[in-house]
Amino acid sequence: MLANLEVIEVLEHAEKLGKMITESEDFHIYSKRKKDLYQDSEATKLMNDFSKMKEHYEDVQRFGRYHPDYSKIMKEIREQKRELDMHDTVAIYKQSETQLQGLLDDVSEIIAQSISPNIKAPRDGIALKDTGSGCGCGSGGACGCQAS
C-alpha cells in the first residue's frame, strides 16, 4: 500500500510540473505562434498542399526509383517542403516549438539524471520525430507531415 501512495504522490508532482510548464513563457509563446500559424490562410494552404503531396511521396516510396513519377514527385516534395519551411509564420512557429522542446528535453534529462546517470533521456524531440516518412519535418506533424 505504501508503494501505491508513493506512486500517487509522484504522479501529483508530475501534474504540478506539467502545469508549471504550461504556465511558462515558452509555452505561452508556443501557443500564440501555433494560433497564428493556423489563422494564417497562406500557411494553412501550404500545409494542406504539402500533406497532399506527401501522399504521392509515400506512394513513390513504396516503389522507389521504379515508380514512373519518381523524379518529378521527389523534386516537387522538396520544393513544397522548402516553400513551407521558408514561410515566415511557419518558421516562427517552428522556432517556438524548438524552444519549448528544449525546455521539455531539459526537464526529462534532469529527471532521468536524478534517478541514475545511466538512464537516457531523449534530446531534440527524437521520440517525436517521424523517421519513417522521410519528410524531414521533425516537428511531430506541425508542418503537415502527419495527419492531424
Domain ranges of the chain: 25-115
pTM for this prediction? 0.73
CB 99 within 8 A of CB 29: yes
Could you tell me if 73 and 56 are in contact, meaning their C-beta atoms sit under 8 angstroms apart?
yes
Q: How many helices (H) and strands (E) does the chain have?
A: 5, 0
User: What is the CB-side half-sphere exposure of residue 96 using CA atoms within 13 A?
Assistant: 20
Q: Over the stretch 93-132, which tens digit does the pLDDT of each residue have?
A: 999 999 999 999 999 999 999 999 898 887 776 655 544 4
Which helix (DSSP H) or strand (DSSP E) does residue 103 occupy?
Answer: helix 88-115
